[in-house]
Amino acid sequence: MTIGKLAAAEGVGVETVRFYQRRGLLPQPERRGSGYREYTDADRSRLVFIRRARRLGFTLGEIAELLGPAEAQSATEIQTAAQVKLAAIDDQVRELMRQRCRLRQLIRVCEHGDGKQCAALQLPDSVAS
């Protein structure tokens, strides 16, 4: 299939496919007799993998590691990478919850407390974190 058909089949733009090729995530197919580059089902599967991994929060660098040379990574290695990613997300969620709490406290200070502390984005020591 052509680059346009590959891109359309997966709901991405042609430039996205080219970007993934420049990053080494998708191989650059050879030109066939027609002069067009022909993409295979394996290329499409690889693009699907990249898109799914992006939706799961993996960076392009992490995806490159997951794909490895010719998709050499095992299910165990992918599972380990997913566990590491999940732990990082859990840490982010905890930090966001702390930030949410601090913002709610700041709102209370601004509504009912010292205007100077509000303007300075300061919380009294008794309500910090």
Residues 69 and 79 in one domain: no
Give the pLDDT band (50/70/90) at residue 117: confident
For residue 84, the enclosing domain spans: 75-129
Number of domains present in the structure of the chain: 2
CA distances 57 to 49, 86, 126, Å, are 12, 9, 37
Residues 6 and 32 in one domain: yes
Residues 15 and 66 in one domain: yes
Q: What is d(CA 50, CA 47) in angstroms, rounded to the nearest whole number?
A: 5
Q: Which helix (H) or strand (E) holds 86?
A: helix 75-112
Quick: pLDDT tens for 40-96: 999 999 999 999 999 988 999 989 888 875 555 678 888 888 899 999 999 999 999
Q: What is d(CA 82, CA 123) in angstroms, rounded to the nearest whole number?
A: 37
In a 3-state reduction of DSSP, which class is residue 45? helix
Q: What six digits make up the tokens of 119?
A: 């303007």
Contacts of 26 (CB under 8 A, 6+ apart): 17, 20, 43, 46, 47, 50
